[in-house]
Amino acid sequence: MDSVIDRWLTIRRWLERDLVGGPRVPMAWIINVQKGGTMPFVLLLMVLSGNWSLSAWTYLALHGTYGLCWLLKDRVFPDPNFDQPVTLPSAFVAWAAVLGPYWVIAALAVLRPLPDDVQLMAGATILHTLGVVIMMGADTQKFFVLRARKGLITDGWFARIRHPNYLGEMMLYASFALLARHPAAWVILLAVWSLVFAPNMWAKERSMARYPEWAAYRARTGLLLPKIL
């Protein structure tokens, strides 16, 4: 299993960074265009479809606000992994495989006439809010702690769970799929979680295992859900 994941990570790294070759741009630019453009994109979908329902406005508020939070995050505590330059074909792959499909979820939520379900919208809002707080809080702690010193982070957001940032992002995107009310939205998320998030977590687990306190930390924490007891 390890060799399969290693091979996939190698292939994915090539697709994400070095496909074909040629001019390069920072990956952060590509991501930020999509994140920052989400609110105008959803609003455009509402204009084109004439859908001004409460459900469409709720989707606009949740997905659009997350995009703005991402831009703030990139300004205050940017992810160094996204600063790496990638080739233009690799940037296209990022759009086609991940960033573009996220907008497909938006299209499913807005372009189709859906009845307003206030209970569903309330649940999605709760899930989205908790997800954004967990993701932003964990990434903030990780950024500033690792800037001060290297090593495991075993307190705060990471005291009972080893990957709270991924949990938060999965929660907030799940809220978008709930509002879309279409199986394709969940297929998109499951594909991203399986091919991007899961291998990333596996690689991080293997990296953290080199620290002497890893065994004790792993025993008292959950991978993706907090170990309470």
pLDDT digits (tens, 9 = 90+) for 204-228: 999 999 999 999 999 999 999 999 8
211: closest CA among 134, 167, 175, 158?
Answer: 158
Mean pLDDT for the chain?
Answer: 95
Tens-digit pLDDT profile for residues 125-156: 999 999 999 999 999 999 999 999 999 999 99
pTM of the model: 0.93
Categorise residue 20: left if φ over 0, alpha if ψ from -120 to 50, beta otherwise: left
129: closest CA among 75, 177, 205, 66?
Answer: 66
Say yes or no to pLDDT of 174 above 90: yes
If 0-12 CB within 10 Å is exposed, 13-18 middle and 19+ buried, where does residue 175 land? buried
Give the pLDDT mean for 22-49: 96
Region of poorest pLDDT, from 78-82, 122-126, 196-200, 209-213: 78-82
- The rounded distance, in Å, linking the Cα atoms of 82 and 29 is 9
Give me the count of residues in the chain.
Answer: 229
Helix ranges (H only) for the chain are 2-13, 27-49, 54-76, 88-94, 100-110, 118-148, 164-180, 183-192, 198-208, 214-220
Residue 26, strand partner residues: 85
Say yes or no to pLDDT of 13 above 90: no
**Residue 1 confidence (pLDDT):** 67
